[in-house]
Amino acid sequence: MRQTIIIFIIIIFQINLGLAQVWPGDVNNNGVVNNIDLLYIGNAYGTTGPKRIDATSNWEEQDISANWNEFFSGNINLAHADCNGDGIIDLLDLIVVYTNYNKTHDVVDQDFFISGIPNLDPPLLLNAKDSIQVSQGHQLTIPIHLGNDSLQIDNFNGIAFSIYYQPEFVKATSISFNIDDSWIKDSLEIFSFIQNDTENGVADVTITRYGQNSISGSGNIGSLSIIIEDDILPLATDEQEGEITIDSIRMVDEFLNTTAISNDTVLYIIKRDSITNIIDVKLQKEINISPNPAMDWFNIDTKLNIQKIEIYNILGELILQDKFNNKNHGQVRVKPFSNGIHIIKLFTNKGVISKKVLIKH
Ligand SMILES: [Ca+2]
Ligand SMILES: [Ca+2]
């Protein structure tokens, strides 16, 4: 009798403290299924453990039969990454994330993002050319770069980010992410995922390597393809404008530690020639500063309205303030300033934007 009570107590203890309950697809167990969960699947890819008894992918709380040996940081058992409960973490679990995407349970503990500072933290860039003609299939392709020559990426294991766009310009199923010549891919050790919310104009992307298997480098990681919506164009007698922004970025190393990455926006201007039927898409960075490095002066060119600019030296001292009176272009003389990096703060109708300019006489 006494032995039975002890066993009973041990079982209760295990249920309370040991075994997790899994919501299939919510790998980091924060209450919501999204592209961040796929970073964890990538990280634990190929790991095996006990199968879930009576496992399904249904959106309901499911008991696991036994804990796996490994844990993610935050004491999250790897059993959460085995979304379909078959005892291995692989691409079938990715399908469960698709199936249960955006579903929530309990109180959602929102995923965090560390916003990088432009020109100080490595960028995730929409590497847009100035002007693209998209007469064939109306497809717009924008290469995406992670890191650059001066801001390299150390220990990339995976990245999740979102692309925000005006849904009225884009066909319902027309956004795709293609990994082509990509420095984060070697021997095909990578998978990518895109979930497109056409109603709100948000496409969530995840690209991750298989397992804990990081790589360092910078440059092209793939390209975004967007098909421009035909239907709106015949109505457009004038140019149509919109924005594509890349944000909500979470880049992780092999231990799922997050690195700050700066975001990016391009403006696009679409015009359809009513005679030739050629659609001309002009892409433009939100703010262009050139030349950079600057010798005696630099130009600012943007679609935004600039109220004023401030220039700070490397010591953080304010050395110039200039009114722009809501203009969207102008020239700034920097001849009196010393050589080195300077921070330009632009006060615009879309908030304060910081840019880095190198002055080199
Ligand atoms: Ca989650
Ligand atoms: Ca599985």
pLDDT digits (tens, 9 = 90+) for 230-279: 665 555 556 777 788 899 999 999 999 999 998 888 877 777 777 776 77
Residue 3 — pLDDT band, cuts 50, 70, 90? Answer: low
For residue 58, the number of C-alpha atoms closer than 13 Å in the C-beta half-sphere is 7
Query: What pTM was computed for the model?
Result: 0.78
Architecture label for domain 287-359: Sandwich (2.60)
- DSSP 3-state of 37: helix
Residue 132 is encoded by which pair of tokens? 């693209």
Residue 226 — pLDDT band, cuts 50, 70, 90? Answer: confident
d(CA 131, CA 135): 13
Nearest ligand, CA 32: 1
The alpha carbon of 247 and the centre of ligand 1 are apart by a number of angstroms equal to 18
Q: Which of 289, 302, 243, 237 is nearest to 269 (CA)?
A: 243
- DSSP 3-state of 38: helix
The alpha carbon of 359 and the centre of ligand 2 are apart by a number of angstroms equal to 54
Kindly tell me if the per-residue pLDDT of 137 is higher than 90. Answer: no
Kindly tell me if the per-residue pLDDT of 10 is higher than 50. Answer: no
The alpha carbon of 157 and the centre of ligand 2 are apart by a number of angstroms equal to 20
Residue span(s) of the chain under CATH 2.60.40.1220 come to: 287-359
Residue type, 320: L
The alpha carbon of 180 and the centre of ligand 2 are apart by a number of angstroms equal to 28
Q: Which of 301, 234, 246 is nearest to 272 (CA)?
A: 234
Residue span(s) of the chain under CATH 2.60.40.680 come to: 124-285
Kindly tell me if the per-residue pLDDT of 134 is higher than 90. Answer: no
- Mean pLDDT for 73-95 is 96
Domain 124-285, CATH class in plain words: mainly beta
- Mean pLDDT for 2-25 is 60
Residue 14 — pLDDT band, cuts 50, 70, 90? Answer: very low
Mean pLDDT of the chain: 86
Q: How many helices (H) and strands (E) does the chain have?
A: 3, 23
The alpha carbon of 87 and the centre of ligand 2 are apart by a number of angstroms equal to 6
- Give residue 232's pLDDT: 53
Residue 248 is encoded by which pair of tokens? 């909500």
Nearest ligand, CA 46: 2
**Percent above pLDDT 90 for the chain:** 51
- DSSP 3-state of 231: coil
E strands, 89-169, in order: 124-126, 131-133, 139-146, 153-156, 158-164
Distance of CA 305 to the CA centre of its chain: 27
Q: What are the C-alpha distances in Å from 135 to residues 53, 165, 171, 238, 278?
A: 54, 21, 15, 18, 5
